[in-house]
Structure 1
Amino acid sequence: MATDTPSSGPPPHAPRTPSRTLLPQVLPALVVGVLAALLYLGITWISEEFEHVLWDTLPDALGIGGYSSLWMIVMLTATGIVVGLIIWKVPGHAGPDPSETGLGGAPLAPYVVPGLLLAGTLTLAGGVSLGPENPIIAANIALTYWLGSKLRPNAPGAFWVVLASSATIGALFGTPVAAALVISEALVHQPGPGSLWDRLFAPLLAAGAGSLTTSLLSHPTFDLSLPQLTDPGWGDLLASLIVATLAACFGLLCCYGLPYVHRAFRRLKHPMLMLPTGGLVLGLLGALGGSLTLFKGLDQMKELAANLGGWSSGELARMAVVKLVALLVASACGFVGGRIFPAVFIGVAFGMLAQALVTEIHPAVAISSAVLGVLLATTRQGWVSLFVAAVLASSPAMLSILCLASLPAWLVVTGRPQLELDEHGASLR
């Protein structure tokens, strides 16, 4: 009778367990997290020091008010000239058109990074209504991808990209939660082996290292010290639904206007015309809206909210509109920067306006709901919008209300133009 004989070949290797796959990712994730945070903190420190010189030391030496209308116009126009010169002459031209980039993206060549960071730093220091997130994330991705590919050439390129993105987002917001939300949203469209938490392991570790580094060195906070909502009711839910939806509609105005304003600036055909003209317009807007409508908006929104009840509805409406137009112009004319932080300021101003018009609305409900709506419109990052709005409210009772308020606001923005263009200058949807 015939019998089966074992194969003479070697036995197949046992598949690697998830832990054996994930453990080698720990050290790269920690290193990328710390280095990404240090680059962010370094650029932030340089921009703040330069800002102090431009807006305090220099005008004081000249006997001019640092935030006078004249100085705002001169300073922002000069910023446009210098940033335009960088984009024109520095190798790499400070990266692709900022209106065509979002958070992350394909790695840039390393030689582009110095010009990108220089343009981003001057944009921050000069008072332009853009944040640091886009250029910092792009720079960290480029450097991490370049170094990682040399040190561990067998690792997939996407691994380094997601580590750098997560680390920088963790550093920007001072918590790994925001990075986990962004990355998990992206991973939905990129199925791969292993569970979601297996794929989140290294990014979350990088984000944790980045956020901890930032927290230990600079103590960032989004707390606006708003009165806490302790006993939410049906009226609070109704107010949140309405304010978030109206704020989303308001934010969409910027999205609808971007291709038209972008096209108008592109008719100038040269960065030394587009950027100075954009800076001049931003200076005039600053003179109209006041000094709080300048810069990325993080410190300014805290100053705005610190005087809760002290602003008239007209002042709040003016600041919300001016900041919205400033974000639109800055995004369209070529300045290098991100849109999240200015959008948060717009949301805070819009929420305070809603509360000033209808004083029965709780301030935390009005402001957090408005920030949620504006961020949904301008970023289409649902989890990040919800996270930032909840952090500003600093009230666990608001979370369930904001989750519900996000639904009608999302119905308003989904499928609509985004605050980002394709290579042909048309709105992404």
Structure 2
Amino acid sequence: MKSGHSKTGRKPLLYVQMAEKVLEEIKKRNLQPHDPVPSEAELAKIYSVSRMTAKLALQILEKEGIVYRLERRGTFMSADFVQEEVNKSVVQPAVAPQKQAKRRIAMIFPNLDDYTARIIAAAEQEARKANCHLLVRISTGTEDETECLQELYNDHVDGIILYPRGRMKCSEKVLELNLMNYPLVIIDRIFRELRIDCVYHDHYQGAYNLTKYLIGRGHFEIGYVSISFDGVTSREDRYKGYMQAMLDHNLSVNSNNIFLHCTEDFMSNLNAPNPQLETFLGNNPLLTAVVCMDDYLATSCLYTALHMKKSVPEDLSIIGFSDIQLSSLLPIPLTTARQITEQLGQAAVNLVCKRMENSREGAITIKVNTSIIERSSVHTISRNLDSQLVSDFRSGQLHQS
């Protein structure tokens, strides 16, 4: 029987030891094909372990073809696993696997674009410094992500970095690996229901700084637009950053200036007018600036404003978030918050390497700062500006591009 994931010099994980004990019990009882195997509850009682440990042990035996499981009926000996094979599979004392020349780290992404490619490039450089191989997998959904995680785990990959873009909650496989203390780091997302290692951009501070930047440029009537939060923490944090900046600078927050339920239909045609944003802008003629949840929504807002014969940025300043490649190529290049991918990739690799060295401290959260990229989509309103705000940003808190 194959042993579970273990590191050089480590004692095998508890559920791996349990699988070996169950196999010994099968041999001792001389179980025949289709005979029932002790249940999770029985095994937990016999060996004084949790039912989760017993369940994981049986899952190992199932993957090896030693047993099969029927929902609500139990676990049984496989017909293909004859007693002769049981005798061959007497578990020897655990032996540490031969040390590989290089450890392996895998990164799982839902897609490849300019943003994720930059994260991978930074992670690759950091992995080389740590004498590790970097593998990249693309998952197309929750089920595919689960399969990727399981395959990498079965292949004894030393650690995984997962980017679950747009996910409302973590998958059961992530919960399972976290429970087993497997080296797993989440990037650019946090799951509030789970204490797990993560590295993500400080979305709150980024949106706060963008709003503060607009105030420093003389804007007081500032709107905010977003697609529905749907439990995605980055969307919530950006909105909270906008709100706090407005309150901290004694600006009233008009609920009419906020639109948080834009659908994602606009993504199929970014340069077409967006009926929802057209209604929002038409109902709020006093707005001089809009903070958008991300650059895609800002792009849709830009083309909608131009369609409405609004001059950007003179009539309406528009600001985005993420600094995707598109933002610098628009008819009016977009001022936005750049998510610094180099720091994100480096920090994720360093954290997963720390866990691969058997670090057992509590869950670690690392926040990566954003920077403002100043382009052409923001207009300065001539009024008595807050000189300190202008000075702050001119002294290095923004970049021109």
Q: TM-score, normalised by structure 2?
A: 0.24
Larger RCO, structures 1/2 (Cα 8 Å, 6+ apart)? 1
Larger Rg over CA atoms: 2
The structure with more strand, counted as a fraction of residues:
2
Q: TM-score, normalised by structure 1?
A: 0.23
